[in-house]
Structure 1
């Protein structure tokens, strides 16, 4: 049973989510503020499959917690925000969140987002897909979900970083539409003013030391999307 940790300062919301998600076969742990969240995260860190962070908390905010979690773990993060514009969403994504949902929301929508993240994190289940993708001295291990740089050092990736990079290396040289990338990595379409994908690409470029002004690996195709221009070599063995 997948374990989820939720922090929200509203007791009714916490109780509702716990009841609803447990009916859908999730093991739910709750926290009411930043301090209790960090205590629960420390306790269950290695068992968690997802974290849900409310932005507004009495002793801190979800952004600070997101940054703390990302320093310790690549566990997927969903942010809950009451902000109607994109500010909270973009800040959360820049800090390493994998998805966001605006309040008020239907618990069924949150459940759908949770399932979509778990589905993407679980991979396609195929047995013939290569395990390793190598490019420009980097090596992506899709089984261990790790990326090593040309010096052999591990590059820290969030769950969303991994999903986006994996899709890029699986389609080298292809011009990838922004809508397709959003659907493949986040399970939903982009709104006309939604720049969250561009934030994600910018963050991934930083991970790959790809110059944002003149990128060599992930190039922008104006009016369309992006293309992964590096030569990719695949293999089943290290």
Structure 2
């Protein structure tokens, strides 16, 4: 393997359909990505820490576990972006996947070129963040957020883990305090897909973020809803690094 090939981003595919893995592997390797395929969640989890994928493509219909459970685990524990690739195309399925931490959702049957394009969007977003030298730690209202590890430190010292998607949303709010953001602006700011169900997924993610910030959903003081317009993060932010 050449040094260039070793440096190429690794894409992990978790799907029990060999034909799906084969099609995706061909499309991804054709444009220079490295690929590893796994037929079960257990096989992927055994290898995940060792291979450190940049993006994980996860099917929801896995033989040994609910794919949504794997999405949640990867989103909480891994630094990889997560894209669901599933035959379940309903709005509620999309919302469930995105609220559990997926960065994107694509429905089978799919055009392999679209999957490649969406993976590139996820990777470009990460590269832009690194290249821009975005600040990594912020303090607000007694809280501290570390965006290298996507971990919150509560005012009482409790450590709270954020998914990648939750962390990106919080970072966006902290970078634009006291400014109204529409759902479209939030979606554009955190990347991923758009369309049917994704606006509602933004609402679900805000709700989950409020829960982790202990922000009363009936009377939120940090992330306020501006009905018909979007959300606004209220407060002072102190960037620490």
Moved more, 83-92 or 173-182: 83-92
* CA shift digits 1:120-170 (9 cap, x unpaired): 23316224x544321111122345554322234432111111111111001
Contact 2:10 2:55 in 1 (8 A): yes
Is structure 2 residue 152 aligned with structure 1 residue 147? yes
CA distance in 2, matches of 1:72, 1:107: 27
CA distance in 1, matches of 2:135, 2:169: 17
Shift of 1:25: 2.2
CA distance in 2, matches of 1:138, 1:168: 14
Unaligned runs of 5+ in 1: none
TM, length-normalised to structure 2: 0.86
Residue in 2 that maps onto 1:81: 86
Task: State the SS of the aligned residue for 2:54.
Answer: strand
Is structure 2 residue 35 aligned with structure 1 residue 25? no
TM, length-normalised to structure 1: 0.87
Residue in 2 that maps onto 1:9: 16
Moved more, 148-157 or 173-182: 148-157
CA distance in 1, matches of 2:116, 2:14: 16
CA distance in 1, matches of 2:106, 2:30: 21
Contact 2:76 2:164 in 1 (8 A): no
Give the length in aligned residue pairs: 233
Contact 2:10 2:53 in 1 (8 A): yes
CA distance in 2, matches of 1:183, 1:213: 27
Contact 1:75 1:158 in 2 (8 A): no
Shift of 1:31: 0.6
CA distance in 2, matches of 1:106, 1:157: 32
Choose the corresponding residue for 2:229, options 221, 224, 230.
Answer: 224
CA distance in 1, matches of 2:156, 2:140: 13
CA distance in 1, matches of 2:131, 2:150: 14
Give the superposed CA RMSD: 2.2
Unaligned runs of 5+ in 2: 1-7
Contact 1:81 1:89 in 2 (8 A): no
Is structure 2 residue 185 aligned with structure 1 residue 180? yes
Change (3 A) 1:38 1:24: same
Change (3 A) 1:40 1:164: same
Runs of 4+ in 1 over 6 A off after TM superposition: none
Change (3 A) 1:223 1:190: farther
CA distance in 2, matches of 1:168, 1:113: 24
CA distance in 1, matches of 2:85, 2:151: 27
Shift of 1:193: 7.6
Shift of 1:77: 1.3
